[in-house]
Chain A
């Protein structure tokens, strides 16, 4: 299925400046210029779950030592990340690993469309950085109790995992350490608003993620 025009989640779209302070574009431009100055081995790309990771101690502890850059923007959906990566954020750098975490903000898109969006991003990365490995992280459950978005995110994960299984230089990692308790609830100790991670929530996600990235960095580059 390649009807990219018909899939809004896979159509590169910048964020318009609806509020009037140009923040999204400021951040994009900063990421593009970061690329000119730095030589990252790992680049994290995605939405607020990526962006917030950078604000807590866990980033300096686990990911700075790996020479990482953080290109997360809160609120981004797949089409926004697709636009950013197609418009300069991957130029001038040659990281070994790209960590991609996006899809939970694609409200109004179906799980199939979101999967299509993620796969379109994987394709852009492959075109620009043929030697890099793309690690796609599974979407986390959200909401305090079971709800349709949890089901949708789980379906996205299933579809993406299947689609990636046949692609070289990509892999899928489920980073949910078990946030959903036996009664179906998610704790605010892990997600302070039942979507965004607390520092404790990040520790549970990032420790295994860090191990996985290290093992990818230790592998010889794929072709």
Chain B
């Protein structure tokens, strides 16, 4: 499947429509961080990744793993792919990449979004042949069942099978406790029915952290004393 056919797999920077160049400023900062840091874990994606760093959970669970956070709010698969191809993987060799993107791809179908995520996973697998890739499933959104929940669920189910093609990648669904039996999402977990609260991140971070620790322990390189 060529990138030309799937718009969600075409690398694209975000245009500065608003006038304060914030997207490129963040990208530039991440490229600089690649020069200075030696992360074992790289988190990349949209605001779901970005906001994680603003809560205590980041300092508690992920900083100790020597993690970098390259999340930018609003990013689509196109934007993440562009960033990875334009400096955000230079000079670093993380053992694990955590990828969380796709919920902002409003112009694209579920199939296209899954294709976009696959394009990123494939690129990562090629650039970082020794790294493991964890692709997080898109979370449900909206207070009650709606079309976007269905779309995100379709993306997830496509990814579950497509990712089998990339041996170093795996799919992780972290949404388990977020939707009540009546189909509603609690504002305690998602303050705007999209972005996670501190409690919401705790729910999501647990399975991710467990998997990260498992992978990092399996890595046959010298262990750092600071690993929890």
* Chain A interface (Cβ < 8 Å from any Cβ of B): 18-23, 26-27, 30, 51, 54-56, 73-74, 107, 142-145, 147-150, 188, 192-196, 198-199
Question: Quick check: A149 and B18 within 8 Å, CB to CB?
Answer: yes
Question: Quick check: A149 and B146 within 8 Å, CB to CB?
Answer: no
Q: How far is the CA of A54 from the CA of B148 in the complex (A)?
A: 26
Question: Quick check: A21 and B147 within 8 Å, CB to CB?
Answer: yes
Q: How far is the CA of A38 from the CA of B204 in the complex (A)?
A: 31
Contact of A147 among B21, B50, B53, B146 (CB under 8 A): B21
B17 within 8 A of A: yes
Q: Secondary structure of the A side of the interface?
A: loop
Question: Quick check: B192 and A23 within 8 Å, CB to CB?
Answer: yes
Contact of A22 among B29, B73, B146, B191 (CB under 8 A): B146
Name which residue of chain A comes closest to B17, CB basis. Answer: A107
Question: Quick check: B187 and A23 within 8 Å, CB to CB?
Answer: no
Contact with A along B5-31 (1 / 0, CB 8 A): 000000000000111111001100100
Q: How far is the CA of A81 from the CA of B142 in the complex (A)?
A: 20
13 A–B contacts, CB within 8 A, in A order: A19-B148, A20-B147, A22-B143, A23-B192, A23-B194, A56-B55, A74-B192, A74-B195, A144-B20, A145-B21, A192-B54, A193-B26, A194-B22
Question: Quick check: A23 and B142 within 8 Å, CB to CB?
Answer: yes
Q: How far is the CA of A55 from the CA of B109 in the complex (A)?
A: 32
B171 within 8 A of A: no
Q: How far is the CA of A103 from the CA of B53 in the complex (A)?
A: 26
Name which residue of chain A comes closest to B142, CB basis. Answer: A21
Q: Give the interface size bracket for B toward A.
A: 20 to 34
How far in angstroms is the closest Cβ of chain B from A124?
A: 23
Q: How far is the CA of A107 from the CA of B16 in the complex (A)?
A: 12
Question: Quick check: A143 and B54 within 8 Å, CB to CB?
Answer: no
Question: Quick check: B187 and A30 within 8 Å, CB to CB?
Answer: yes
Q: How far is the CA of A48 from the CA of B21 in the complex (A)?
A: 19
Question: Quick check: A199 and B54 within 8 Å, CB to CB?
Answer: yes
B85 within 8 A of A: no
B72 within 8 A of A: yes
**Which one of A22, A145, A188 has the highest number of Cβ atoms from chain B below 10 Å of its Cβ?**
A22
Name which residue of chain B comes closest to A151, CB basis. Answer: B19
